[in-house]
């Protein structure tokens, strides 16, 4: 019986040590922390941003953590608090909404921890750097593609499905495509159709909104400036369900689904924002900031509720049926993921 008790005690001790070790690993000291917003608005945050940020920090030999708030602002705050408790000197924040992110940044700064606005500006925030792509240029590429595809159709009705109003980037993109489309509305080349923001960039809500747009116009929508690939796919689904033909349609993020819609003729273009470059540059900036150094910048951006914000902006690229293979050749996407099932025939 004594041997049995000793054995049980030994096992219990081993389990306790293992749990303690696991806890130590979970709360290991880190230099930087990436706070991604969700998995619903775009697949990019988990498929691209997180792994490339982790890879960049690992390559630099720096301990870092990248987590996802799954669309919950309170969870993002809790994650930020944990990262700071674990020693993070810099937070890389892709916010769920500007209000909660600004609060995170200010509270972090009060503790001596600096922040980087990652791919989304934080209105009223206190980040020392905005690392992203040229958002207005993204919109210009989107608007140009839709306008060019409708050149021969005078008076064509264009609907606009913008991103979430809680995201400052949605206004940058809209400002970009409106700069192309508004003059064409004014001179009668095109006609402005329904124009609506999609709450939280929610693809399901985008589908509902576009269905309502079709009802309102009697299915007479000739083109759509859609803010990203997820929203664009909601348009594709609605068009197919109504047995309507493809129309000029923009997108963004160069997702596998977006490219599949492009090669099959349902989406006109997407905007490629090379997250590998963004993640690498952001990781380098975070390390410099943690060392008390100034990160490299390309200029400044105007962010509401604060002074001009130092920025590092990367140029985006338009992807169409003519050049989509660049994404494969460059190693951003895998051909086997794109060219499968019903899409295989479009890759020959």
- Taken in order 287, 289, 293, 297, the sign of the CA dihedral is positive
**Are 323 and 174 found together in one domain?**
yes
Q: pLDDT tens digits, the chain, 348 residues: what are they? A: 444 444 444 444 444 444 334 443 445 699 999 999 999 878 889 999 999 999 999 999 999 999 999 999 999 999 999 999 999 999 999 998 889 999 999 999 999 999 999 999 999 999 999 999 999 999 999 999 999 999 999 999 999 999 999 888 899 999 999 999 999 999 999 999 999 999 999 999 999 999 999 999 999 999 999 999 999 999 999 999 999 999 999 999 999 999 999 999 999 999 999 999 999 999 999 999 999 999 999 999 988 889 899 999 999 999 999 999 999 999 999 999 999 999 999 998
**Are 106 and 185 found together in one domain?**
no
Query: Is residue 6 a part of any domain in this protein?
Result: no
**pLDDT for the residue 43:** 84
**Are 194 and 90 found together in one domain?**
no
Beta carbons within 8 Å of 79's beta carbon, 6+ residues apart: 33, 35, 67, 69
Distance between CA atoms of 297 and 126, rounded to whole angstroms? Answer: 16
> What domain count does the chain have?
2
Please tell me whether residue 266 adopts helix, strand or coil conformation.
coil
Closest residue by Cα to residue 260 from 240, 238, 232: 232
Q: Residue 106 is part of which domain span? A: 31-127+274-314
Distance between CA atoms of 98 and 96, rounded to whole angstroms? Answer: 7
CA distances from 2 to 5, 7, 8, 11 (A): 5, 8, 10, 14
Query: What CATH number should be reported for the domain holding residue 80?
Result: 3.40.50.2300
**pLDDT for the residue 268:** 98
Query: Is residue 9 a part of any domain in this protein?
Result: no
Query: Is residue 268 a part of any domain in this protein?
Result: yes
Q: Which two tokens stand for residue 116?
A: 């980087």
Query: Is residue 340 a part of any domain in this protein?
Result: yes
**Are 144 and 261 found together in one domain?**
yes
pTM of the model: 0.81
**pLDDT for the residue 27:** 56
Beta carbons within 8 Å of 99's beta carbon, 6+ residues apart: 73, 124, 166
Contact by Cβ (8 Å): 29, 86: yes
**pLDDT for the residue 318:** 98
The secondary element (H helix, E strand) that includes residue 162 is strand 156-162
Beta carbons within 8 Å of 104's beta carbon, 6+ residues apart: 35, 76, 77, 80, 91, 93, 115
Q: Which two tokens stand for residue 262?
A: 């492009």
**Are 149 and 106 found together in one domain?**
no
**Are 200 and 331 found together in one domain?**
yes
Query: Is residue 3 a part of any domain in this protein?
Result: no
Q: What share of the chain is helix, strand, coil (3-state, %, to 5)?
A: 50, 15, 35
């Amino acid at each position: 019986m004594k041997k049995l008790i000793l054995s049980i005690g030994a096992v219990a001790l081993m389990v306790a040590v293992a749990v303690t070790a696991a806890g130590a690993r979970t709360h290991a000291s880190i230099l930087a922390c990436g706070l991604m917003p969700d998995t619903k608005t775009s697949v990019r945050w988990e498929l691209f941003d997180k792994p490339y940020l982790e890879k960049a920090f690992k390559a630099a030999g720096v301990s870092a953590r990248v987590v996802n708030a799954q669309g919950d602002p309170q969870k993002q705050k809790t994650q930020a608090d944990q990262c700071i408790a674990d020693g993070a000197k810099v937070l890389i924040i892709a916010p769920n909404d500007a209000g909660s992110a600004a609060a995170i940044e200010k509270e972090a700064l009060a503790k001596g921890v600096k922040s980087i606005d990652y791919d989304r500006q934080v209105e009223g925030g206190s980040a020392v750097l905005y690392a992203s792509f040229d958002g207005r240029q993204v919109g210009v590429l989107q608007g140009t593609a839709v306008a060019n595809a409708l050149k021969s159709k005078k008076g064509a009705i264009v609907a606009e499905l913008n991103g979430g109003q809680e995201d400052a980037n949605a206004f940058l993109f809209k400002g970009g495509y409106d700069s192309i489309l508004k003059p064409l509305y004014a001179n009668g080349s095109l006609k402005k159709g329904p124009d609506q923001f999609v709450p939280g960039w929610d693809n399901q809500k985008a589908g509902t909104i576009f269905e309502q747009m079709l009802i309102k116009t009697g299915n007479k929508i000739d083109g759509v400036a859609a803010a990203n690939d997820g929203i664009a796919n909601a348009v594709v689904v609605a068009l197919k369900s109504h047995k309507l033909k493809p129309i000029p349609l923009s997108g963004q993020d160069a997702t596998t689904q977006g490219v599949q819609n492009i090669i099959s003729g349902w989406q006109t273009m997407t905007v490629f924002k090379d997250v590998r470059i963004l993640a690498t540059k952001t990781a380098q900036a975070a390390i410099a900031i943690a060392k008390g150094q100034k990160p490299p910048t390309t200029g400044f951006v105007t962010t509401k509720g604060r002074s001009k914000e130092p920025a590092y902006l990367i140029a985006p690229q338009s992807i169409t049926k003519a050049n989509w293979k660049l994404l494969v050749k460059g190693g951003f996407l895998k051909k086997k993921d794109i060219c499968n099932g019903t899409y295989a025939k479009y890759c020959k």
